[in-house]
Structure 1
């Protein structure tokens, strides 16, 4: 992912505004953005003649909020997480989307019945299901490979530095999983003072061995550079490193954190009509299945599953690499956007205080 602030500043400084025949999409960069270009943007332009310009951000919700608050919206569609979609919609920053305008499944099933649970929100439509997983360098552990979240915290059995994201949402749950809390009980435990203390106590055991990351491109690079032997990472990023780049990495699916990404349109976007056409096109059955040929994120539509085939290499079956593969979901933590809407600020304050301590 590129640096968000540099890009958004550059857009504002140049007074950028899309023409009527252009849609500006803010996404996350890297292999994920590349998959969107191939699966969504190129066929959309071919069909409509409307150019699609991509802008990368570390977290697209941040420039979205900043642009709306500044009254200077320079992009049309933003790829954001569910909790951000709910919050920004509540704040009046997003255009409401009627599910009835979305294309039905090929068999005629209405969109509202075809998307997976939680994929349709008042102001956003999901495109992918993705996971934060543990990845490791297979060459670093000749005497046995890690298999569980608990192994991530076992510095004696599996020596080396660990990579973790610098935020509460994607660290506290993993500490609790590693400490024996079942995935289905994570939010009940994390909603208590005792549970939060338990998570930080577990993180204390590896704190001095953690390399903190903030952008999705960093964990595969940290592994490749030998700066860490294990790291949490977005599953599509590490798939790209393993399959496309041939890196000697592997995945531990135990305790994966599953989430959705969603397309949203800010109020007062430069081209709202074209933006809505892009959103409808990019979230139809064929396009979501097509994206799975380029990256291992699960389509947000049920009807897309049967169309998921091989990777672009024509050899690798994609289904086993999907976060939604039943074998990969055995101890998965599903994102709870309502929980994070209520606790995100508080837990991140505690997390930042812990980091500084």
Structure 2
């Protein structure tokens, strides 16, 4: 793959999107130490205790998920494709997550022999099925923001609204690479300027393009004040699962569920196929595609299919506490939610 930099024909992709609750209440330091960002993956089911897949719950610090998967493959003497995980976790943090190693007809390896600084195996259990991407229920976060400067009363008011109403379900900036570089590479891929044989790298570029388009649509609705409200033609999605309500089946009962915050609007993850929304919502989504034809046509040509993502994220069990000029946050997000998208509603951490 070529490493040349993007030329003048490559557009600049903005990673600035509007906030829902009036902008940041101040500034703070984030992730000064790994212990300031603690993430615990919530698997959502118990491994059954038998089967050809060995599930390992591992606490890590200073290592990224993909590196650890490769180390597990070497340790267990299997091909890297036989090691799986549900979600990627930050390197600059203390994170706990599950890995799966396929070991058909083989005994468990000696767990005591797997020694690496910054790693600790917490559990090991067998399971009959592979651990697949995105299967975990969610992630529990404990965050410490240091040296807060700003309006503490305004910040608490924002936290109270987020606890009650949720926050815009933006994809986090880490999705787009340093300075949005993954987006430029995606565009070059779609234009045929580069070839990417590595499947993981190609997937990163496709995901970046899809995520940016979604964020653009969500930003329009945040600006219009309807990111968390029903619009005629919306395709509503339930919290807690992937179920959708067809746009032509929205009735008074469905609207009542909106008011009870059991449902929220969804936005497009671009790909092949017809939009399922109706009326003005579908038109807004078609206009988005018309403004970014290279990205949308590239995703379609790559074989991506139309999917939906909720416009609203909920922080379950959100709690907060000040210790001097430090703010401690605790909450749980469903799989696919970004803690950084919540933080950007509150403080500037740059």
- TM-score norm. by structure 1 comes to 0.20
Question: Which has the larger share of helix?
Answer: 1
Larger of the two Rg values belongs to structure: 2
The normalised TM-score by structure 2 is 0.20
